[in-house]
């Protein structure tokens, strides 16, 4: 467990240093890179290409390992997890990144230089994350853990995240 924490710390320091050195924590640089229709700054393309190259090499060899170095098993994303919610979240992420020039990692790195805009961004990011969790928890309070479907005098229940309105079971979208 200690090795896992030390590994996470080392990876975080390496990632933060890389973001700082590459200027990914500089919103003007990021917005310049994203502005392909205007005054495009292609310099971050080298960061992107380097990241893709390292990932391509790692994805070729790492899955052959019996397990990760500091964990019990690899966690693999299931293809069925690509859904409308993921696409909406990715779109909001991209819009926020394009408008502010920050995504969460570089925003935190920019805090190290005491940038007021980074402080505002990270603060808003944390409040937005909290609001999402709060809203999701409120939905879970409203949603019933069981769905009752009346079949004459007999009620059949199954455990799904559906809600019951006016005595009728209705499916909730999630």
DSSP 99-167: HHS--HHHHHHHHTTT-HHHHHHHHHHHHHHHHHHHHHHHHHHHS-SEEEEEETTEEEEEESS-EEETT
- pLDDT at residue 151 greater than cutoff 50: no
Question: For residue 16, what is the enclosing H or E element?
Answer: helix 2-21
| Mean pLDDT on 133-155 | 58
Please state, in angstroms and rounded to a whole number, the distance separating the CA atoms of residues 7 and 10: 5
| Mean pLDDT on 101-123 | 87
Task: Write the DSSP symbol of residue 169.
Answer: E
The tokens describing 13, both together, are: 């320091």
Instruction: Give pLDDT, residue 110.
Output: 86
What digits encode the pLDDT tens for the residues 39-83? 899 988 998 899 999 999 998 998 889 988 888 888 877 888 888
Rounded to a whole number of angstroms, the CA Rg of the chain reads 22
Instruction: Report whether 121 contacts 115 (CB < 8 A).
Output: no
Q: Which of 113-117, 125-129, 137-141 is least confident? A: 137-141
The percentage of residues in the chain with a pLDDT greater than 70, rounded to a whole number, is: 80
Tell me the pLDDT of the chain averaged across its residues.
79
In three-state secondary structure terms, 47 is helix
| Mean pLDDT on 102-111 | 86
pTM score? 0.60
Instruction: Report whether 115 contacts 23 (CB < 8 A).
Output: no
Q: Going by C-beta distance under 8 Å and a sequence separation of 6 or more, which residues neighbour residue 123?
A: none
pLDDT range class, residue 160, cuts 50, 70, 90: very low
């Amino acid at each position: 467990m200690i090795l896992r924490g030390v590994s996470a710390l080392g990876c975080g320091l390496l990632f933060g240093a890389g973001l700082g050195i590459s200027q990914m924590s500089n919103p003007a640089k990021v917005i310049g890179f994203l502005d392909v229709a205007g005054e495009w700054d292609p310099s971050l393309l080298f960061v992107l290409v380097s990241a893709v190259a390292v990932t391509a090499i790692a994805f070729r060899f790492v899955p052959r390992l019996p397990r990760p170095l500091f964990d019990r098993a690899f966690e693999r994303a299931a293809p069925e997890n690509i859904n409308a919610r993921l696409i909406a979240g990715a779109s909001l992420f991209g819009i926020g990144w394009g408008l502010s020039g920050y995504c969460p990692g570089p925003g935190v790195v920019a805090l190290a230089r005491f940038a007021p805009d980074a402080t505002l961004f990270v603060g808003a990011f944390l409040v937005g994350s909290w609001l999402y969790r709060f809203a999701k928890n409120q939905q879970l309070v409203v949603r019933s853990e069981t769905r009752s479907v009346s079949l004459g005098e007999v009620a059949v229940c199954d455990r799904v995240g559906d809600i019951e309105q006016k005595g009728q079971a209705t499916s909730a979208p999630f």
